[in-house]
Structure 1
Amino acid sequence: MSASDEKGQPHDNTPAKSASDAVVSRGHETDSSYDDDLPPKTWRSYVWDTLDKPKAERRFLLKLDSVILTFACLGYFIKNLNQININNAYVSGMKEDLNMEGNELNYMQTLWTIGYVLGEIPSNLLLTRIRPSLWIPACEVTWSVLTIVMAKCTNVNQIYALRFFIGLAESTFYPGMQYIIGSWYRKDELAKRSCIFHASGSVGSMFSGYLMASVYHLDGVHGFKGWQWLFIIDCVISLPIAIAGFFFFPDLPEITRAWYLTKDDIALAKKRMDLEGRANRSPYTLAKIKKIFSSWHIYLLTLLYIFFNNGCGALSQPGFQLWLKGQGYSVSNYNTYPTITSAVTVLTTLIYAWSSDTIFRGSRWQPIVFSGTLLTVFYSSLTAWNIPDGWKWACFILVGLGGGISGLTFAWAHEICKDDNEERALVVGSMNEMAYVFQAWLPLLIWQTVEAPRYPKGYPTMVGFAIAMVAMAFIIRFLHRNELLAKKAAAAVAEN
């Protein structure tokens, strides 16, 4: 490129730039990863990152956000609505109607988790070979239909079987969508999208509480109990969203056939990922498999997510609800008050995302350390248990700030594993799957229903996970920085 080209004054024989070249004009071509050279920002980018981009890129990202974020958020909303409604149904009549005893709620949760674990890595590997626009919506339809069947269950064993297959169907969605998001967005865009996607799950958890409080009044209508109506309405909400996915999911840039993307849009999408250094799909070879499993990426990123996911274990337990129930609150109150915790998760998720992409210029470790530090304080307080009721309320609510960093951990994984598409898909799947491997058996030991809401084993374990998560974030930061420095040194030697 000549000096006149660099100044934006092309010679007469220079071809006009296409939409896909608009990104290059922003100065990204000098460093495809731009870890140390992010594009200059104005105040507008702190509101939303697309506002500083060229017109063609803004138009493309508007289309992409409208589809990917909408269907990612709606899909995760219905997934979490489905996942959490078993707790709300349990405390709202299902326990008594199905004569549930002891730790049978734990067994229901564990069977869901086993199904979820078995499906995650195979599903994410399938997404590197088949169209996500077919696979993901098909699984959404499956779990929606199985949910309404739960309304007709008359004993615990039927619920056990359905929860296993619902977990298997749901295993596709979260790691699959994180993989797709990482296939379309650049570093300065990634955390916000990943975290907005994750926050929608907390909205689903909140909505489940409000929904249970509402449908409880339908008790007896058409012969269904209030908790049965929860499953029926869940399916009514979920099924149309699942079916719409067949027509809107964009697949990946190199294979997309989305009707709303033009040829220029697709060329721009590919160019953006080339500039980001994010690899396209390639065959699985023995050398690739050896490379993946000899790297620290798959092991330490998986450990980080295990500590995060299981360190938020209290959020999936009805401890707050059962404590409120024991305090004499009404069915409506103990279904709705815990939604404040989910609201805290949503708010802090967005704060983490914006600060990571803007204030910290794409760095992910700071919010993770902040979250782990505060969780250590709150869970230590709940471990003590004999604390003032006001502080106990605060701890139950503020532990929600720990649920907001999931998107950051996946954004970090996309960036660390950007050189190999198959490694990225496998690591993302491994992170989520291994976290749920622990979740399959750990609750049976530390979150026993018969020990609720005191949970003398659960809260101390959360303290340990919070501390371990902070330590792992520092280790990964150190190793990743060394890796980047080694790449730059190798590139400098190659140039000379």
Structure 2
Amino acid sequence: MAKEKSAAPVEHVIESGSDEEIEFIIQENPKKKWTSYIWDTLDKSPQERRFLFKLDAAVLTFASLGYFIKYLDQSNINNAFVSGMKEDLNLYGNQLNYMTTAWTVGYVIGEIPSNILLTRVRPSIWIPACEVVWTVLTMCLSRCNTASQVYALRFLVGLAESAFYPGMQYVIGSWYRKDELAKRSCIFHTSSAIGTMFSGYLMAAVYHLEGKGGFRGWQWLFIIDGVISLPIAIAGFFMLPDVPEISRAWYFSKAELGYAKKRMELEGRENRKPYTKAKFKKILTSWHIYGLSLLYITFNNSGGSTPVFAQFLKDSVNPKYTVSQINTYPTGTYAVQVVSTLAYAWISDSLLNGRRWPPIVFGGVINIISYVSLAVWDIPMGWKWTCYYICGCGYGLSGLIMAWGHEICNDDNEERAIVIATMNEMAYVMQAWLPLIVWQQIDAPQYQKGFITVSCLSTLLIITAFAVRYLWKRELLRKRIAAESDSGSSQAIEAVKVE
């Protein structure tokens, strides 16, 4: 079968209706230059580069800072626990697991309603407001005297934080084209690892405030987290541009907003439409919501949220590690996550021409190698440390999977919002109970049940990635056949190459 020739670039010109006439040239099938492999705006027109610079400066800056403080405020419980909170509040059972579960339950309850709400209200109001709420609640954790008080506040923090990640993924997916999307989603996601790393460094630093003002070191962690978070939350009211069709961002001209809408039109990304029974039926009967949710469930429950490395260091006798070392050494895992996440994004967007599944499979394979080795446990100490570090390669797939979800649900805005939220929510539904069974604190540091579970989930991740790839290729082929049939074309249909 003859190979179909790539279409020549088609140019669309948009002019502003204001006094300042600006032309934007959009190419439907742009020819890539080598500079695009470094950064995708380098081979675009000056006007387009200016637009994307503004968009990146606003959306990526706020998204990354917001996700940084989210993970700072989410993961600080683990650092506080190993830095005196355990002893002060008499937490010698599975209370840490219950604290994590309380946060997860709140997070799960809020995600889908929040994303449905985002298709009807302005993200620039809803998302920053939720950030302010969780920031205040995080500071209140410093005053807790019992485990029950921590459970209640952690639930409310999770409920407030539920708006951020799926909401910002929805916003990012509303502005960027396919060759830009994975890089932005992954840059956004790396800030979670940086937040987790910084929480460790911050705990090591504020531990020296022990006793100042009548507060213990772990209490100072919650207070300083809130001080860092509040200005970022307030900035969101001014930085977020909403979505193109309703944006009123002060930093975009009228021409640039028209250009943004046209970009999404050419990408096939639908605008907001009313919710109907037919729409809900279409969403719930499609493989999209189930296949993508399973893919994200298997990724998200593959060990990244458990402090196994810190527990290993805390229980070590020879040598005995200090509180500072226990908080800082595990941050190397998240450094590996940052590097691998960015590598996946550039490779997927540029070298793999938008294919998302190969890095997902690679991350799953590294997870299997790491956690099977840790399940064996009696391995050389150097290899054990290596496994704790390289498993970070499996933590950095979130942005890539979310980008794939945006592309698969491209032609229905409401489906895209609901599916993105459902992917994240169902992953946390499983996370609400799974750690109570396989990551029990009493098993530390040899979490054999947890290590085996992650190995099995990573195997299922790989299988699901291939299944999603197959189903999407089949769907695209059917759409192409239907389109050519409607146009009366008799030209042979070749296999869909987009994956």
Question: What TM-score, normalized to structure 1?
Answer: 0.93
2:309 corresponds to 1:320: yes
The residue correspondences of 1:66-465 to structure 2 (distance < 5 A) are 66-311=57-302, 313=303, 315-327=304-316, 328-465=320-457
The CA distance in 1 between the partners of 2:23 and 2:156, in whole Å, is 46
1:68-110 CA distances to partner (integer Å, 9 max, x unpaired)?
0000000000000111110000000001111112100000000
Quote the offset at 1:317 in angstroms.
1.7
1:397-436 CA distances to partner (integer Å, 9 max, x unpaired)?
1111111110010000000001100000000000000000
Return closer, same or farther for 1:265/1:461 CA change in 2, 3 Å cut-off: same
1:269-299 CA distances to partner (integer Å, 9 max, x unpaired)?
0000000000000001111111111110000
Return closer, same or farther for 1:408/1:72 CA change in 2, 3 Å cut-off: same
Structure 1 unaligned segments of length 5 or more: list them. Answer: 1-5, 29-37
The CA distance in 2 between the partners of 1:304 and 1:200, in whole Å, is 22
Quote the offset at 1:7 in angstroms.
9.6
Match of 2:485 among 482, 488, 493: 493
Corresponding position of 1:32: none
Corresponding position of 1:41: 32
Corresponding position of 1:481: 473
2:15 corresponds to 1:18: yes
Quote the offset at 1:54 in angstroms.
1.4
Corresponding position of 2:3: none
Supply the AA of the counterpart residue of 1:445: I
The CA distance in 1 between the partners of 2:425 and 2:13, in whole Å, is 47
The CA distance in 2 between the partners of 1:408 and 1:319, in whole Å, is 25
Return closer, same or farther for 1:294/1:386 CA change in 2, 3 Å cut-off: same
Supply the AA of the counterpart residue of 2:469: R
Q: Is the 8 A contact 2:360 2:462 kept in 1?
A: yes
The CA distance in 1 between the partners of 2:123 and 2:135, in whole Å, is 18
SS where residue 22 of structure 1 aligns? strand
Supply the AA of the counterpart residue of 1:84: S
Q: Is the 8 A contact 2:200 2:331 kept in 1?
A: yes
The CA distance in 1 between the partners of 2:219 and 2:412, in whole Å, is 46
The CA distance in 1 between the partners of 2:63 and 2:421, in whole Å, is 17
Supply the AA of the counterpart residue of 2:440: Q
SS where residue 457 of structure 1 aligns? helix
Return closer, same or farther for 1:458/1:295 CA change in 2, 3 Å cut-off: same
1:31-55 CA distances to partner (integer Å, 9 max, x unpaired)?
xxxxxxx532111111110111112
- How many residues align? The count is 473
Q: Is the 8 A contact 2:115 2:421 kept in 1?
A: yes
SS where residue 189 of structure 1 aligns? helix
Q: Is the 8 A contact 2:119 2:414 kept in 1?
A: yes
Q: Is the 8 A contact 1:378 1:395 kept in 2?
A: yes
The CA distance in 1 between the partners of 2:308 and 2:427, in whole Å, is 21
Quote the offset at 1:23 in angstroms.
4.2
Quote the offset at 1:325 in angstroms.
1.8
The CA distance in 2 between the partners of 1:474 and 1:203, in whole Å, is 30
The CA distance in 2 between the partners of 1:404 and 1:318, in whole Å, is 17
Q: Is the 8 A contact 1:21 1:268 kept in 2?
A: no
- Greater displacement, 175-184 / 484-493: 484-493
Quote the offset at 1:18 in angstroms.
2.4
1:196-253 CA distances to partner (integer Å, 9 max, x unpaired)?
0000010000000000000000000111100000000000000010011111111010
Q: Is the 8 A contact 2:119 2:417 kept in 1?
A: yes
Supply the AA of the counterpart residue of 1:296: W
Supply the AA of the counterpart residue of 1:52: D
Quote the offset at 1:22 in angstroms.
3.4
The CA distance in 2 between the partners of 1:17 and 1:373, in whole Å, is 46
Q: Which has the higher helix share?
A: 1
SS where residue 460 of structure 1 aligns? helix
Q: Where does structure 1 differ by over 6 angstroms across 4 or more consecutive aligned residues?
A: none
SS where residue 419 of structure 1 aligns? coil
